[in-house]
Structure 1
Amino acid sequence: MDVEVLRLRPGQDLKQALWDWTRDRRPSAACLLSAVGSLDRVCLRLAGGDRHRHRQGPHEILSLSGTLCLDGLHLHLAIADATGQVWGGHLLEGCRVYTTAELIIGSLADWQFQRQLDSETSYPELQPRRLQGFQKCQEPDLNR
């Protein structure tokens, strides 16, 4: 796995920055390994439909996880406001960095991610494919 670190600056759109990275690097498959920072505008799609939640003011990023490929990003965000209230959902464009966002992204060279519309869910769902065979490590010789 190759790992890259991004630091976003105040005013940058979190999702747009991840799209830009994906289009620029063109990974066959990638995932977010870690994310910390803060946002001053938050846009989330809530579970089970098209309901959106928009929040203003400083929020800490508690978690950001998901998959990245040229067919699309699937990212979930959890944030906390100044009172400790936690919000979460599907990351939408419009989430603006407040002070910083530090992102660690893993590129999975042995995998290819594609998204295809799933008739059961009506969403473009992940279609992962391993490009190379899994290599098991040899058992250690404990008698040495």
Structure 2
Amino acid sequence: MTTPLPSQGVFHAFRLGPGENLVEGLRRAFEVAQSEAMAIVTCVGSLTEVVIRHADRPDPQTYRGRFEITSLVGTIDPNGQHLHIAIADPDGRSYGGHLMAEGSAIYTTAEIVTLALTELVFSREPCPASGYRELVVRQTRHTG
């Protein structure tokens, strides 16, 4: 475990409308915030299309229809994002996993709150333990 680093933050609230791409909207919010580290606080809404890579599967699955967003969590850094989503279909069946950047079209709305962490920088670097590029958190200034 790395040592948790403190940071002040600025909340941003916004809404994405029908047809917008969820990940592209989050990336725009990240740019507007002029942040180097952002976390998703909450998201409620609906999708007509979503691409999810499920745990321990190499290929993503595309879902088309009408789905409620029941959860969206993750981190955003200058070069990418690591987002997990849970969705529910009209019968209440849930699906979840890693939200891919392509193919996530909003149905009616996505109401989102993010937190730009003003004293942190997120990056992703190779991790010998996992074999993946994992989150690295650095402090941008002293917060004493």
Q: Which TM-score bucket, shorter chain as reference?
A: 0.7 to 0.9
Offset from partner CA, 1:64-105 (integer Å, 9 cap, x none): 000011021000000000000000010112011000001100
Structure 1: segments with no counterpart, 5+ residues: 136-144
The equivalent of 1:84 in structure 2 is: 92
Work out whether residues 26 and 70 of structure 1, in 8 Å CA contact, stay in contact via their aligned partners in 2: no
Report the Cα offset of residue 134 of structure 1. Answer: 5.1
**Residue aligned with 2:19, SS:** coil
Which of 12, 19, 28 lines up with 1:4 in the alignment? 12
Q: Distance in 1 between matches of 2:126 and 2:99?
A: 19
The correspondence of residues 1-144 of structure 1 with structure 2, limited to 5 A, is 1-92=9-100, 93-133=102-142, 135=144
Work out whether residues 39 and 96 of structure 1, in 8 Å CA contact, stay in contact via their aligned partners in 2: yes
Q: Distance in 2 between matches of 1:67 and 1:56?
A: 25
Q: Distance in 1 between matches of 2:118 and 2:34?
A: 11
TM-score by length of 2: 0.86
The equivalent of 1:141 in structure 2 is: none
Report the Cα offset of residue 17 of structure 1. Answer: 1.4
Work out whether residues 33 and 116 of structure 2, in 8 Å CA contact, stay in contact via their aligned partners in 1: no
Q: Distance in 2 between matches of 1:52 and 1:28?
A: 28
Offset from partner CA, 1:12-39 (integer Å, 9 cap, x none): 0111111222234331211000000000
Amino acid at match of 1:96: A
Greater shift, 109-118 or 35-44, is seen at: 109-118
Q: Distance in 1 between matches of 2:121 and 2:131?
A: 22
Q: Distance in 2 between matches of 1:72 and 1:44?
A: 16
Amino acid at match of 2:24: Q
The equivalent of 2:5 in structure 1 is: none
Work out whether residues 26 and 69 of structure 1, in 8 Å CA contact, stay in contact via their aligned partners in 2: no
Q: Please tell me whether Structure 1 or Structure 2 has the larger radius of gyration of its CA atoms.
A: 1
Structure 2: segments with no counterpart, 5+ residues: 1-8
Number of aligned residues: 135
Q: Distance in 1 between matches of 2:88 and 2:39?
A: 22
Percentage of identical aligned residues? 36
